[in-house]
Amino acid sequence: ETGVTQTPRHLVMGMTNKKSLKCEQHLGHNAMYWYKQSAKKPLELMFVYNFKEQTENNSVPSRFSPECPNSSHLFLHLHTLQPEDSALYLCASSQQGTNEKLFFGSGTQLSVL
Amino acid sequence: EDQVTQSPEALRLQEGESSSLNCSYTVSGLRGLFWYRQDPGKGPEFLFTLYSAGEEKEKERLKATLTKKESFLHITAPKPEDSATYLCAVQDGNNRLAFGKGNQVVVIP
């Protein structure tokens, strides 16, 4: 596989469920990111990991919990979400954690009922 | 706070009808301006990085230019496969990235 792969592509969950989003990059990059994309809004940075250490948390509610076990894998654990959390969640990677030239996955379309 | 405004929000073009997309920005210490293309159901795909006023980059029918206040993405003789949403983003002196809402382009055969 090449590039950045995200699973699942689509997810529907209730507000009391717990689920996880997975991201894997095959580019040999050192930094990984979670972004949120809502309709009619700009892309919104959530978390940045550089060499598997979290370097940025953009004031994200604690119901979103990231995990980066190594430079190639990134998870986003979800629990007790709200309907307004419904969005496209995009994972990205870059050579360094400086937001330059991001490579994005296809995203997970999340619907919270 | 860094701000990025893209216009027009949506654009319908006839095949072959050239046009330009605008990205105006306010940023503290511009390090770079990025253009991405996003197709429906996919993540954004990197197109260009511009670093300083006067710089230009080209790729097939796309040409990006940069001034101190805005960037343009010119689409020359577009084809239906150029239909996409084009995202502009600016990187400030602290390496923070701010995206615009995008320009949605539809090219009609």
Residues B16-34 have pLDDT tens digits of: 999 999 999 999 899 999 9
Q: Helix (H) and strand (E) counts for chain A?
A: 0, 11
Q: Do A100 and B49 touch (CB under 8 A)?
A: yes
Q: Which residues of B77-88 are buried (b: 16+ CB within 10 A; e: fewer)?
A: ebeeebbbbbbb
Chain A residues close to B97, C-beta within 8 Å: 45, 99
Among the partner residues A42, A102, A107, nearest to B101 by beta-carbon distance: A42
Question: What integer pLDDT is reported at residue B2 of this predicted model?
Answer: 84
Question: What integer pLDDT is reported at residue A97 of this predicted model?
Answer: 77
Q: How far apart are CA B72 and CA B22, in angstroms?
A: 5
Q: Above 70 in pLDDT, residue A1?
A: no
How far lies A64's CA from each of A57, A80, B2, B60, B92, in Å? Answer: 11, 9, 25, 40, 26
Residues A39-84 have pLDDT tens digits of: 989 999 999 999 989 988 889 999 999 999 999 999 999 999 999 9
Let me know: does B102 contact B89? Beta carbons within 8 Å.
no
Chain B residues close to A32, C-beta within 8 Å: none
Let me know: does A33 contact A94? Beta carbons within 8 Å.
yes
Q: Encoding tokens for residue A6?
A: 């995200």
Q: How far apart are CA B21 and CA B5, in angstroms?
A: 11
Residues B74, A91, B41, B109, Cα dihedral to 10°: 10
Chain A residues close to B98, C-beta within 8 Å: 42
Residues B41-80 have pLDDT tens digits of: 999 999 999 999 999 999 999 999 999 999 999 999 999 9
Residue in A closest to B101 by C-alpha? A42
**Residue A101 DSSP code:** S
Among the partner residues B34, B43, B49, nearest to A90 by beta-carbon distance: B43
Residues A3-13 have pLDDT tens digits of: 999 999 999 99
User: From the CA of A8, how many Å to the nearest CA of chain B?
Assistant: 13
